[in-house]
Structure 1
Amino acid sequence: MKRVLGPILRHFVEAGSLRVLWPDATTTVYQGAKPGPQAGVHLKNAAAVKSLVLNPGLAFGEAYMDGVLEPLDCTLYDLLHLLMLNAMNPAGHIAEQLSAAFRYVRRGWIQFNSTARSKQNVAHHYDLGNSLYALFLDKDWQYSCAYFPTGEETLDAAQEAKKHHIASKLKLDRPGLEVLDIGCGWGGMALTLAKDYGASVTGITLSEEQLAFARQRAQDAGLAGQVRFELLDYRHLTRRFDRIVSVGMFEHVGVGHYKAFFETIRNALTPDGIALIHSIGRSDEPGTTNPWMNKYIFPGGYSPALSEVFSAVQQTGLWVTDCEILRLHYARTIAIWRERFAARRPEAVAMYDERFARMFEFYLAAAELAFRVQGHMNFQLLLSPSISAVPYTRDYMVDAERSKTGAN
């Protein structure tokens, strides 16, 4: 298979250079015509070489997890940087092109996130244990894109800024507003909206570990009478709210459920209500989820193109009153998570094992690079059934944000 993979790599590496140490101890350097990063890889057995020929999107991560593929004289991040940058080459790897085309045809099934399947998918990642996430998250347990007004903020400060940035858009201009938090995580957003804005918040999640943790946090903060958390699928909502916020949950909805999701938003809002959806997206056309990421990290997950999102929204009668694109904010967030995880990596090995730790560090490195070199971004979409729910201009957002953060 070396004779098959070699020509593939020669065609694949257009920018930078890749040095390969083969199982037979020979070395080949693949030099691209364009400038770019330099990296090396050691393929330790013939099975690893064969798997990279047949299904590179899945096999590369698995080979790293199994220890039969190792970065050579570079870091994992360096190696992934080179490969993910060159993967944007339209010609690419023929096997991966065919695999991606097949995934696209099947993506309706892959992302068929029924109520039962959604709960299983959430448990796969979010119920791994709070001790794992304590290794790298901020003090408020925000597991989504932070907001860096200057790019120099600490993780804690940037996550705090993210919450106030979102709150400013929701026009929380009077106490007692009923707010729904869809996919509430460990409860940080709900608690902030209650404590700092006087809202009455209901948070819903499908993660039993997050639910118990969030409820305890509300109790400890003395906010149990103002914030409640429920184990509930968004499709089972039966009441209306003045405001809805959803941060980092839309990626788990699935393309076949977009219209139903936004119909649920519309039906759950009061006539002049406002909803904010914060999600990972892609800047290019509709695509598919990497098979390794789908299998090991976020089963059923997908980062949509804006065209897919707007197409669904326009069928529901909702107004898009604002849309903001956050480009490198998540790359910066994940870079900090990577550093923090690496510093406490032995604890992750002790909790699980070496293979799990390799899986998680692979996930964090690949996720960061998706935002740096593969067109991923975050979008914040503001929605309302009413044309007049928010003021004429965005000034109200800026004024509200400055009043809470003191920013100039």
Structure 2
Amino acid sequence: MSAHPQSHAASEFLLEHPLHDSFCELLARADIVPNGSRPWDIQIHNPHAIERILSEGSLGLGESHVEGWWDCEQLDEMVCRALRARLDESVARPGLLISILKAKVINLQSVRRAWQVGRQHYDLGNDLFEAMLDPYMAYSCGYWRKAETLEQAQQDKLDLVCQKLQLKPGMTLLDIGCGWGSLMRFAAEHYGVQCTGLTVSKEQAHWGMNHCGNLPVKFEFTDYRLFNPEGRQRFDRIASIGMFEHVGHKNYSTYFQMAKRSLKADGLMLLHTIGKNDPGRAIDPWIERHIFPNGALPSASELIQASEPWFILEDWHNFGADYDKTLMAWQDRFEKAWPRLQQHYDERFYRMWRYYLLVCAGTFRARDNQLWQLVLSPNGHTGGYRRPKI
């Protein structure tokens, strides 16, 4: 952490700040004390952080942190406590109504806009993601039922997906939003499956092609809506891991229709996605502006309404609490790698990225966000579907 020469002066001025009492009363509901001694207490370095947090909510909280106006040793725990106490409902949320209306009127995840998240996020640098992720480069929630390390949690997740899809040698698998190819590599190596993956990130496709060797794995740099438009390709299985968060509610029907026309009549599809508890809630504005542009989390009801015209729901599995462990493992690896990463990324990026990982961990710890895996079939799985025990 960098030094904050304003901290002492800010602490003295804090007591005289006109919003001091209101700020303290709000945080007290979550057992958080400004400039307190516990690791989850917020440390104010610049008193202007108070009005910015109270007036701008999540956006002001995140941006003032990145600017160095405040810190917290256990940011993840602070966020968890704040969400459990519903403090987010007690601060201003400027632009929230506009954001909701904008999402309803404008297709923020159109084909034209689909490439933005690839350029802004996934193309940041493979060195960053190599340092943070496991050797398979799985950038989604691990499965920690038996695992004690990130590597094992991600391999167990990949194996869980393969078993849920009942993969067998010679089958074909379409991975919608394949990332760096973690599932395809694992499925090809361990299940003898031929894989095709779709991504909107040039860096992901380039890295994946260079690391898949002679495996029967193919990357296509394309948006899902532009793939297989006439349904001439039919795959035995489809998976979509951590991509649905970029689809947007205006495109849910298009997404499931595309999956239906690309899947064999007796096939299975697995959808792995972060979910929200409230169907009317917009994505966190700081995350949308600085991390995942045009992101949109589905609710359970939205998933059901969008998928049921095309698929039968065979299985629904929630292991959202495991995302807390996954994010904390990513943060630990990022922190340890920072001495070499800082040659290519500045201090502001460090504060932004650390904030992103720890805040997200706090949201899952508070169970404010969920992680769902759905298994879907076009016509109902013959004899009934049974989830594997792993």
Question: Which is strand-richer, 1 or 2?
Answer: 1
Q: Please, which of 154, 157, 160 is the counterpart of residue 162 of structure 1?
A: 157
Which amino acid counterpart does residue 384 of structure 2 have in structure 1? Y
**2:132 aligned partner:** 136
The total of aligned residue pairs comes to 371
Please give the per-residue CA displacement for 1:352-377, whole angstroms capped at 9, x wherever unaligned: 10000000000000010110114212
Matched, 1:347 2:340: yes
Which contiguous aligned blocks of 4+ residues in structure 1 show a shift greater than 6 angstroms? none
Letter in 2 for 1:309: L
CA distance in 2, matches of 1:132, 1:317: 38
Out of 240, 250, 253, the position equivalent to 1:256 is: 250
**What is the Cα deviation at residue 318 of structure 1?**
1.1
What CA distance in whole angstroms lies between the structure 2 residues aligned with 1:121 and 1:108? 20
Contact 1:200/1:227 (8 A) holds in 2: yes
Q: Which residue of the partner structure matches residue 55 of structure 1?
A: 56
Partner of 1:39: 41
Residue 394 (str. 1) matches residue 386 (str. 2): yes
- State the SS of the aligned residue for 2:317: strand
Instruction: Give the 3-state SS of the residue equivalent to 1:230 in structure 2.
Output: strand
| d(CA) in 1 for partners of 2:379, 2:77 | 48
- Give the Cα–Cα distance (whole angstroms) in 2 for the partners of residues 113 and 268 of structure 1: 21
Q: 1:231 aligns with which of 221, 225, 228?
A: 221
Distance in 1 separating the partners of 2:202 and 2:80: 35
Q: TM-score, normalised by structure 2?
A: 0.88
Assess if the C-alpha contact under 8 Å between 1:125 and 1:298 holds in 2: yes
- 1:345-384 correspondence runs (5 A): 345-384=338-377
Question: Contact between 1:129 and 1:209, CA under 8 Å: does it hold in 2?
Answer: yes
Q: Is the 8 A contact 1:37 1:81 kept in 2?
A: no
Where does 1:121-270 land on structure 2 (aligned, <5 Å)? 121-150=117-146, 152-173=147-168, 175-219=169-213, 222-223=214-215, 226-238=216-228, 239-270=233-264
> Contact conserved, 2:245 with 2:274, CA < 8 A, in 1?
yes
TM-score (norm 1): 0.84
Deviations 1:297-324 (A, max 9, x none): 011112221111111112x231111111
Question: Residue 68 of structure 1 aligns with which residue?
Answer: 69
Change (3 A) 1:347 1:82: farther
Distance 2:221 2:185 in 1: 17
Q: Distance in 2 between matches of 1:304 and 1:289?
A: 10
TM superposition shift of 1:9: 4.7
Determine if contact 2:238/2:270 at 8 Å carries over to the other structure.
yes
Q: Give the direction of change, closer, same or farther, for the CA distance of 1:300–1:89 in structure 2 (3 Å limit).
A: same
Unaligned stretches of 5+ residues in structure 2: 1-15
Identity %: 32
Question: Does residue 311 in structure 1 map to residue 305 in structure 2?
Answer: yes
Which amino acid letter does the alignment assign opposite residue 237 of structure 1? Answer: F
SS of equivalent residue, structure 2 residue 212? helix
CA contact (8 A) 1:17 1:37 kept: no
Code of the aligned partner of 2:68: G
CA distance in 2, matches of 1:331, 1:109: 33
Indicate conservation of the 8 Å contact 2:40/2:74, yes or no. Answer: no
Matched residue SS, 1:216 = helix
CA deviations on 1:185-233 (whole Å, 9 max, x unpaired) are 11121111122112111111110001011111122xx21xx21111011
Q: Distance in 2 between matches of 1:166 and 1:153?
A: 19
Q: Does 2:6 match 1:3?
A: no
* 8 Å Cα contact 2:276-2:368 kept in structure 1: yes
The corresponding residue for 2:4 is none
Deviation, 1:4, is: 4.1
What is the RMSD computed on CA atoms of the aligned residues?
2.4
Q: Which residue of 2 aligns with 1:278?
A: 272
